[in-house]
Amino acid sequence: MDTKEIRSTISNLEKAVDDTTILKLLNILNDGVKPSEKLLRETKVGVAVNKYRTHDSVEIATLVKKMIKKWREAVQAEKNTKKKVTPSASSTSNISPSSSASGTEPAKASQPSINNAPARTGPRNPKTDGVNTHIYDNETRNASISALYTSLAVERDDSPGVILKIATEIEQEVFKSQYMQVNDTYRNKLRSFTMNLRNKKNPELRERILSKQISAADFIKMTPNEMAPEALKKEIEKLHKQNLFDAQGATEKRAVTDRFTCGKCKHKKVSYYQMQTRSADEPLTTFCTCENCGNRWKFS
C-alpha cells in the first residue's frame, strides 16, 4: 500500500462503528503496510491503529497488539541495518573527560549510560533494562528520571536509549519550569506525570510521547483531562451530554403521544418536548422519553 491508500484506509477506520468493519480494515492494514520509519511517521498509521489496543473486542485488541509489535520490530531492524552501514557516533561519546585528548570541556552532568540489558522476566524498569539513571548529583532528580522511565516503558518495546532520552527531557523541562529548583511543586508535578504515564489503560499517551508527537515541553503543560485515556474522555463526554439532556428535560413541559415508538422496548407511550438547539433557521430538536422503560433519544 502507498501513502495515499494507507491514509484512505485510516480515514475509513476512524469512521467505522461496528466491530466487523473495524476488524476488516485492520486486516487490510496488517497485510498491506510494509513498515518503515519514514512511512509510519508520514501516515501516523501506528497511532491510528494503537487506539484500538484496548478495544472491547478481544479479537481486535489482540490483532492490534500483534500489528504494533510487528511494525516496531521492523523499524528497529531497519535502524540496526543503518547502524551497521553508518559508523556509530556513540563510540566517541563513551570517551571519559579524563582520557580525552581533545581538550573539550566536560559536561556539567554525567551522561546517562546504558549497559547490556539482562533478559527481562517482568515489567521494564531501569534496573531490568540495564540503564543507569544516576545523571545528576541530586538524588531526587535521578529518582524522578527512573520513575518516568518505568512509566514510559509500560507495555512498550522501544529501545532503552529512546525511553531514557524522553524521560530525561521531561525531567529537565519540569526542573526548568521551577527555576532550576527541586521543590514541592517539582515533586508534585513529577508524581502526577508518572501516574498518568504508567496507566495501562492509556497506551495512546505513551505512544504520542515516545513517537515525539508531543514534545517534553508541551507534555508538562498538559492538564489531567488532556492526558486522560481516550476511553475515559469518551465516558466524560457521554456523561456531560446526559447531564445536559437531563437539565434540558427538567425545565421543559412534556407532552405524551403515541406517534413515536421506543427503539428499546417498542412501546408507543412516549413523552416529548422540543427545543431550538441550533440556529433559528434550523428545525427544532425533539427530545423523547419512553414512559415504559425510560429510554431517551432525540432527533431533528
pLDDT digits 0-9 by tens, 163-179: 999 999 999 999 999 98
For the chain, the average pLDDT equals: 83
Question: What number is the average pLDDT over the span 270-299?
Answer: 86
* pLDDT above 60 (res 110): no
* pLDDT above 50 (res 100): no
pLDDT digits 0-9 by tens, 84-94: 665 544 444 44
Q: What is the pLDDT of residue 282?
A: 80
Q: What is the pLDDT of residue 91?
A: 44
Q: What is the pLDDT of residue 109?
A: 54
Pick the CATH number of 3-82 from 1.25.10.10, 1.20.930.10, 3.40.190.10, 3.40.50.970: 1.20.930.10
**Domain edges within the chain:** 3-82, 126-244, 256-299
* pLDDT above 90 (res 108): no
pLDDT digits 0-9 by tens, 28-56: 999 888 888 888 888 888 888 888 988 88
pLDDT digits 0-9 by tens, 23-33: 899 999 998 88
How many residues does the structure list for the chain?
300
* pLDDT above 60 (res 189): yes
* Residues paired with 257 in a beta bridge: 270
Bridge pairing between strands 255-257 and 131-132: unpaired
* pLDDT above 90 (res 255): no
C-alpha gyration radius of the chain: 26
Fold of domain 256-299:
N-terminal domain of TfIIb (2.20.25)
